[in-house]
Amino acid sequence: MVPFQAYQTPTAFKHGLGILSNLADEVKALGVKRPMLVTDPGIVRAGIADEAMNVLKKGNVDFVLFDQVAANPPVELVDRGAALFKQEGCDGLIGLGGGSSIDTAKAIGVVAKHGGSAVDYEWADPNPITVPIPPLIALPTTAGTGSEATLWSVLTDHERRIKFNIGGTPNIAATVALIDPLLTINLPAHVTAGTGMDALAHAIECYTMAFAQPFTDAVALLAMEYVGQYLRIAFAQGHNQEARYKMSMAAMLGGLAYGTDSAGAAHAMSQTAGGVVNCPHGAITARLLGPVMEYNYMGEPQKFARIAVALGEDVRGLSVWQAAEKAVEAVYRLTEDVEIPTLQDLGFSEDQIPLLAELASKDPQTIGNPRDINTQGYIKVYQHTFEAGRRSK
Ligand SMILES: [Fe+2]
């Protein structure tokens, strides 16, 4: 049992179809005079950055554009952004994009306020992040990472070949999460799939791990229900506004389920593996989720049985154990239905298993996983995931 628990988030959550049009007013309401718009070249190409900039210009908001965010944002990128933030006299941040852009905006805020480099703020006890970042508006353009709701920023350290977390404190949270599901309408199906499965992984891992608590359990269960009901529809019918809206809410709820704590073995694996092979976080997390659940379910059978119900499985007449197994099957089926690539497709090879398992065992998210796991356990799960990948070919 975890002795003392708390839940705190300072973020205001505002959502609606077209709510991007309120961006300038939100900036002004925060008293920000010169925000830095943090985004990536894909968002610029998609025309979404222009949409946001037009709203800012119409509202006479002076801003600085930083559009160099890359997937799995590296430390150097954050440090460069923080230098520009100071040089340009910025006083607030807008994170526009998927998890990478919002995480970069958070981390720029940390470095801009504290000095040094992002690498100096890796989570530790006591937390090196001691004061709040400048006001941050998070505008997600995918429905998955939930970064707009989490107290974390995930960065890549190429020197150590790992991804690491900074945060775990309300000091890094977005001030406002401005969630406009219309921004996700044109996402390609494979991005919808990977990011949506990431939201599901947040919900399932946080619900079953040792740090779970009633507040986060409640939001995690609804996130699972939404993913179960709407991910296939959003994947099959990208323009379906109801499915997009519910997936945006699922991502937000999944992010809230993170709380101030962490996820579990699937994220310990996907985040460390993402430092070895540069691949989309959602896709790799999704591919690992089923095998991790299969490994974990015997630690928390009641909770896994309830996951099956949340995902729409019919568990009438089943024992708790049978129902728990249904949760695992449901996630495997969803993974295949939304065509998640295999580890092999993502660029991994089986000879990397010892390295990947070793790195995962050192990730702090290993602590609290619903079933005890060490390097040997991770080797088994990786082997199993590669096997499952061969079968799905
Ligand atoms: Fe994730």
For the chain, the structural domain boundaries read 12-184, 189-391
- C-alpha–C-alpha distance, residues 355 and 206, integer Å: 26
Ligand 1: distance of its center to the CA of 203 in Å? 10
pLDDT for 160: 84
> Quick one: pLDDT at residue 392?
67
Query: How many Cα neighbours within 13 Å face the side chain of 41?
Result: 3
12-184 domain in CATH 3.40.50.2000? no
Closest CA to 332 of 356, 353, 311: 311
Going by C-alpha positions, the residue among 81, 151, 163, 86 that lies closest to residue 119 is: 163
pLDDT of 85 reads 98
| Whole-number pLDDT of residue 105 | 98
Query: Hunting for tokens 């959003």 — which residue is that?
Result: 234
Q: What is the pLDDT of residue 388?
A: 83
User: Which mean pLDDT values do the consecutive 10-residue runs of the chain (393 residues) have?
Assistant: 82 98 98 98 96 98 97 95 98 97 98 97 95 98 96 91 89 98 97 98 96 94 98 98 98 90 91 90 97 98 98 98 98 97 96 97 93 97 91 66
CA 390 to chain centre: 27
Give the 3-state DSSP-derived string for 115-167, with helices as H, strands as E and coil as C. CCCHHHHECCCCCCCCCCCCCEEEEECCCCCCCCCCCEEEEEECCCCEEEEEE
Token pair of 352 as six digits: 């990397």
Q: How far is the CA of 74 from the centre of ligand 1 (A)?
A: 17
Rounded distance from Cα 44 to ligand 1 centre (Å): 24
Q: Within 13 Å, how many C-alpha atoms sit on residue 320's CB side?
A: 8
Task: Using the mean position of ligand 1's atoms as its centre, give its distance from the Cα of residue 202 in Å.
Answer: 6
Of 353, 359, 392, 208, nearest in space to 294 by CA: 208
Q: Which of 334, 366, 167 is nearest to 265 (CA)?
A: 366
Separation of 236 CA from ligand 1 center, angstroms? 22
Query: Cα of 69 to ligand 1 centre, how many Å?
Result: 18
Say what the pTM is: 0.95
Cα–Cα distances in Å, from 115 out to 119, 128, 263? 11, 11, 29
Task: Annotate 313-381 with DSSP letters as a single string.
Answer: ---TT--HHHHHHHHHHHHHHHHHHTTPPPTTTTT--GGGHHHHHHHHHHSGGGTT-SS---HHHHHHH
Ligand 1 centroid to residue 317 C-alpha, Å: 34
Q: Determine the Cα angle at 123 with ends 122 and 127, to 5°.
A: 115
Q: Which H helix or E strand runs over 50?
A: helix 48-58
Task: Report the separation in Å between the CA atom of 196 and the middle of ligand 1, taken as the mean of its atom positions.
Answer: 10
Q: Please tell me the predicted confidence (pLDDT) of residue 378.
A: 98
- Taking the C-alpha atoms of residue 86 and residue 83, their distance in angstroms, rounded to an integer, is 5
- The whole-number pLDDT of residue 4 equals 86
Question: What residue type is 112 in one-letter code?
Answer: A
Three-state secondary-structure class, residue 51: helix
Beta bridge partners of 38: 66, 95
- pLDDT for the residue 393: 58
- How far, in Å, from the CA of 205 to the mean position of ligand 1? 10
Number of H helices, E strands in the chain: 14, 8
Res 390: pLDDT: 77
Would you state the pLDDT for residue 259?
72
Determine the distance separating the centroid of ligand 1 and the alpha carbon of 58, expressed in angstroms.
Answer: 35
Q: How far, in Å, is the centroid of ligand 1 from the Cα of 281? A: 7
342 Cα–ligand 1 center, Å:
17
User: 320 C-alpha vs ligand 1 centroid, how far in Å?
Assistant: 28
Residue 259 CA to ligand 1 center (angstroms) comes to 13
Contact 36, 92 (CB under 8 A): yes
Contact predicate 271/123, CB 8 Å? no
In angstroms, the CA 62 to CA 64 distance is 7
Centroid of ligand 1 to alpha carbon of 263 (angstroms)? 8
Q: 189-391 adopts what CATH topology?
A: Dehydroquinate synthase-like, alpha domain (1.20.1090)
